[in-house]
Amino acid sequence: MIEKIQAIKNIGTSWLSLGLSLVIGFFLSPFILHRLGDEAFGLWVLIYSISDYYSFFDFGIRSSVIRYVANFHATGNQEQLTRLISTALTSYSCIGILLLLVTGVGSLFVGLIFHVSAAWLSTVRLLFVIVGSGLALGFPLGVFSGVMEGLQKFHILNITQIISTLLRALLVLLVLSHGQGLLSVAIITMALPLVTALVRAKLVLRMLPLDLGLSHVDRSTLRQIVSYSGVTFIAIVADRLRFRSDALIIGAFLSTTAITFFAIGSKLVDYATEVVETMAQIFTPMSSQLDARGDFRALGELFVIGNRSCALIMLPLSVALITLGKPLISVWVGPRYLSSYPVMLALLLPSTLWYMQATSFRVLYGMGKHLTFAIAMVIEGVVNVVLSIWWVRHYGIMGDAMGTAIPLLVTAIFFLPGHLCRLLGIPLLTYFRRAFVVPILLASVLTLTLLLLQHLIPIRGYSQLISVVAIGSIVYAGLLWFTFATQINEVWQETLRVSARFVGKITDRASQEDIVP
């Protein structure tokens, strides 16, 4: 019961934080875009995409902190906890110093690699220094956020994030309204996370009165961190190749203005996937604790129920973007950006299939069995970059989008579900039946509802858009409540169970005994 209350508290505050961030981001983005202009906004996205590769220098240490804090805290090993945090903090401090040097050197070459006009060259260099330095300083401070995740104190992380988000939005509005530009926005954006990290560090030291210091740094703990984080580092590299290479490729082969049109479509997809990611992040420390206790049956149940929850969130968001995407873009940033809609569609379809299963890779990280996953993601990432570079030269930003979408679609369908089901001993048909039947049925009804509403209420502004979304949300929430309150999902699952038996006679697979009831 305590664990359920903790999970509800974590998920509730996570969604509150994310919801606030999405609302502010949704309304603030067009304000920033129109104040800065297409080229400056594209430069902003480009520099962030470059600096995003700083996460390579994490080397997976943060994931190790989360896993082992959860493990040591569950087993009451205070001594190992002290060594872990001290060693991670020292490692990150060294990495931060190295990144300050990388930032200084990189600022000299950033204008030579990408298509940046001469008028913006000095601004781009200074922008890179501001963003890179902020990220470098954030490395050692980020240890304490990882400790909070390991302790499952997501509600504290979320409350501090809410305060930071509100302050950032207020300050950005203030400086842009008074005629300030890109550099002022960058300073605000980088300074507030550092202040937030300092607050979290102070809170962690109150919760865990540990004697941190160089005397507790030892090689055995570092080897333990490296043994786990080495695999995570591979996954980090893969993630950057898969989801963070688009702006760099477009900036290198097209223009910074083209980045803006791509970013609008991809940003809408990011908004949807962030909602799922925010919920799914709690499953890493939960699965780590279950793995430490040897409760593999509960792990299997967490895997199925977690992915069902992800699908119940991801599918309606995707349906809304598909059916309302064009009027949404037109109302949000203006009709001239409607060419971003095909980009959004190309990225959304495979992302939906992937993030419906967001619990899967969280369980792998929690169990420490993510090597095969990491290797598969690297292969996907390499194919992504090769296809994107090849097609962007022939088909523009849509070519880049397809280069990202096709490899992601393959791994979401043919790798991820089969790999987890084999690892946890769950029949594939059982997994699909229990995790996805109800979400797909509910999303189908929502699709028809939104199409009907669009016909009845033509969307010409925010008032009509909000009305359609509100009515659709009420219908979906009502269906969701009715489904689980009346247990009608069991009827639907029984229908699929009969179908599965029929398919099993043909494929000779359905005779396996269900592992997870």
Q: What is the pLDDT of residues 422-443, one digit of tens each?
A: 988 899 999 998 899 889 999 9
pLDDT at 402 exceeding the cut of 90: yes
Own/partner pairs for 108-114, CB < 8 Å, 24+ apart?
110/47, 110/50, 113/252, 114/46, 114/248, 114/251, 114/252, 114/256
What stretch of H or E contains 381? helix 371-395
d(CA 300, CA 360): 10
pLDDT band at 405 (very low <50, low <70, confident <90, very high): very high
d(CA 362, CA 302): 10
pLDDT digits (tens, 9 = 90+) for 134-185: 888 888 887 888 788 777 777 788 888 888 888 888 888 888 887 777 788 8
Calculated CA dihedral for residues 483, 487, 488, 494, nearest 10 degrees: 130
Cβ-contact 236, 60 below 8 angstroms = yes
Which residue, among 274, 14, 299, has the nearest Cα to 153 in the 3D structure?
14
pLDDT digits (tens, 9 = 90+) for 271-301: 888 888 877 777 777 787 777 777 778 888 8
Give the residue carrying structure tokens 């994310």.
18
